[in-house]
Structure 1
């Protein structure tokens, strides 16, 4: 008999993880950095930002070597910066799950798939400027500067996803999701659904992003979403839930997971890291850059994921929060947690990995899942750094400064994106294994 949940759907195991983040170039070093409470935010070096109001970021360490981390067959020479991170994370996740992408068993190619959250492709503004200058100089309104063929390839948002599909050896579902900071949350949730409903048996899911170009920093700066107070003290810049928070810090990286039909994973002797139990997705569409002050949208996503999991509010021990370090988001998320959990909100712990890495945007939810899986396995909850000054509106236990040893049976993962896209996942230690 197939292992199913109470609703008759297949159970889904997390069996592998890979990561390239500001804390490390693989999953073990990323998790070790979280447990140590290491701050990975420093000077922004991806372009000359001397005249910009924001000059800090959470960047992937220079020790990341795409020539060794990414197979040459994966169109490496044309790959974008975030695409290289994503491919490296996918390869590590497959190895972590003890899967050989070239093998047909236990998963035929048609039963394998890939779901990834990433930023949407966009034009090169410098190229647009060249066209504008040419038209102004010549007076010809249709004058055009053709882009280099290589630029067309590197700017293709599907190039990395296609390479990941080939790396996984999949001919099953391929899902690319571009819902900003909730992208990897949606990708993981949709992969979960595909396995639950029998449309796939194994999915590689997560997210990859690197919004660290001059256009990205300029855009976020004009929106007033990023902090400009800590250019001379980067380690203090990302401070979720602190009274002196003033905006988020941009980060970059990729995190990928192998999700499998639990029964097949057990049969092949796969390492079972956790079980995905619930998924919620909502849209509040309140403002493009802000969450609703009352927490709506997030409340419904959390209630949906918790309801599907079959767990009660007293069963969740840890929430890996979206926790951006923006004034509005942290209040909205805290109010949502209180509304959903009631008195149990003061029993559980809440922390934000963004305090250490900055905001990995489309990869942020996947990084939070890494924190949750690590907490389940090692009974350690990573801290929220820089929580120095309490905010009277934020009175939950945010695990300030240092990681905390404690048993974690189940965890919740939040992602609350620009534009109002919200996702929530619930993950737990697998019980009652068939």
Structure 2
């Protein structure tokens, strides 16, 4: 079976507008959560989010792109992260034949702004051509394929193009499916990751009505996201993008590419439980983790670190902890486990990709970012969640989790790539 490695990383997150700054702030335990600025929050129960820093300009991040006005907020993040990942990988149009390169991205399917639709409805009472007030830019920005098409043009790819929308596991599925396409010989290089910005008033209101977001910390945003803490009360929405360049190992070596890590295993399952939360016993998540670990050939003893989904909701954190204990048994207490969402908020469609970035950084620097705001672990949540401060510890392989609204789960195993790594033969 062909081996798949990560040769490029790009990121735009609440902690920085590039991958290096994002990692540095994660390692330092910095919070990127603050007042929500994308709309007037007066009268809303939730007024905080993890937002990309003010001043980010996708036009500057994607020089020479004539279509930059056509991208949604999330699409701009995704394209900037893609441009950085390609620079990091020293990859582009001449790296491989066009039909051997492709794109797989996770994101929420864009939708029209509700206030705009109301305005159009009111106008149509008197104006028969009211729908002409919608500009082409609005149409393009609402199409999930617009950023993907721009990414394809960036690298000159004519191979596979895959857009995935599976809520909080979207970017994990995208990375997993890109991994499969390279494994099976359908591509040599894939851009893979996710981008998201669910920070409009309708998104915030919807999550609030579901009771999924914390409403307790509007006056103290940096303490709001509290994975595994006894006082956790819901997640905090975030936004951003994380994109990777994935390549077949021997092809990457032949062109002298720098290898950040190797993707070793991928598991994808459904809970068949509820739309909004995970089963208390961790089923679904258990099967995803077991499948990814089995494919890696490492066994549970070969995993050093779990980059947790860790949203800060009461049910998710308990379910994920139960699942880790079931999969790892007594080894669960040997592991380090942490949640970057405590610092960035929940990047939803880009969340799994952020967790992969964390895994890559932890292996490179032998440093595990902390779970901040973990002041008092909840009863029964007794794993080593690396509270408050980063931990210096060797990480040879990490398990990355993402569990989504609707009950879909993904797990990925990422490891340090080396010539003598022995992997289980695949059928």
Q: TM-score, normalised by structure 2?
A: 0.96
Which of 51, 66, 89 is equivalent to 2:43?
Answer: 51
SS of 1:133 mapped into structure 2:
helix
CA contact 1:134–1:143 (8 Å) conserved in 2: no
Query: Per-residue CA shift, 1:101-143, capped at 9, x if unaligned?
Result: 232x4x11100010000011223211221244346x66x9x98
Partner of residue 137, structure 2: 150
* Count of aligned pairs between the two proteins: 420
Alpha-carbon distance in structure 1 between the residues aligned to 2:110 and 2:51: 20
Partner of residue 4, structure 1: none
Partner of residue 370, structure 2: 383
CA contact 1:243–1:389 (8 Å) conserved in 2: yes
Partner of residue 3, structure 1: none
Partner of residue 98, structure 2: 109
* 1:30 Cα offset (Å): 0.3
Partner of residue 22, structure 1: 14
* 1:390 Cα offset (Å): 1.7
Query: Per-residue CA shift, 1:219-258, capped at 9, x if unaligned?
Result: 1111111000000000100010000000000000000001
Alpha-carbon distance in structure 1 between the residues aligned to 2:374 and 2:359: 20
Alpha-carbon distance in structure 1 between the residues aligned to 2:180 and 2:286: 21
Partner of residue 241, structure 2: 254
- In structure 2, the gaps of 5 or more residues are 422-427
SS of 1:73 mapped into structure 2:
coil
CA contact 1:74–1:163 (8 Å) conserved in 2: no
* 1:203 Cα offset (Å): 0.5
Partner of residue 126, structure 1: 115
CA contact 1:130–1:145 (8 Å) conserved in 2: no
Q: Give the RMSD, CA atoms, in angstroms.
A: 1.4
* 1:155 Cα offset (Å): 1.4
Query: Per-residue CA shift, 1:152-175, capped at 9, x if unaligned?
Result: 122112111110111121100000
Alpha-carbon distance in structure 1 between the residues aligned to 2:210 and 2:239: 19
SS of 1:418 mapped into structure 2:
coil
CA contact 2:59–2:65 (8 Å) conserved in 1: no
The yes-or-no answer on 1:93 pairing with 2:77 is no
SS of 1:113 mapped into structure 2:
strand
Alpha-carbon distance in structure 2 between the residues aligned to 1:378 and 1:224: 38
CA contact 1:23–1:34 (8 Å) conserved in 2: yes
Which of 252, 258, 261 is equivalent to 1:271?
Answer: 258
Alpha-carbon distance in structure 2 between the residues aligned to 1:74 and 1:292: 47
SS of 2:240 mapped into structure 1:
strand
Q: Greater CA deviation, 236-245 or 424-433?
A: 424-433
Alpha-carbon distance in structure 2 between the residues aligned to 1:80 and 1:72: 18
CA contact 1:279–1:308 (8 Å) conserved in 2: yes
Partner of residue 175, structure 1: 162
Alpha-carbon distance in structure 2 between the residues aligned to 1:24 and 1:433: 35
Q: TM-score, normalised by structure 1?
A: 0.94
CA contact 1:305–1:426 (8 Å) conserved in 2: yes
CA contact 2:352–2:402 (8 Å) conserved in 1: yes
Alpha-carbon distance in structure 1 between the residues aligned to 2:190 and 2:63: 20
SS of 2:351 mapped into structure 1:
helix
Partner of residue 69, structure 1: 61
Alpha-carbon distance in structure 1 between the residues aligned to 2:223 and 2:303: 30
* 1:64 Cα offset (Å): 1.6
SS of 1:275 mapped into structure 2:
strand
Partner of residue 161, structure 1: 148
Alpha-carbon distance in structure 2 between the residues aligned to 1:145 and 1:113: 36
Alpha-carbon distance in structure 2 between the residues aligned to 1:163 and 1:432: 35
CA contact 2:69–2:137 (8 Å) conserved in 1: no
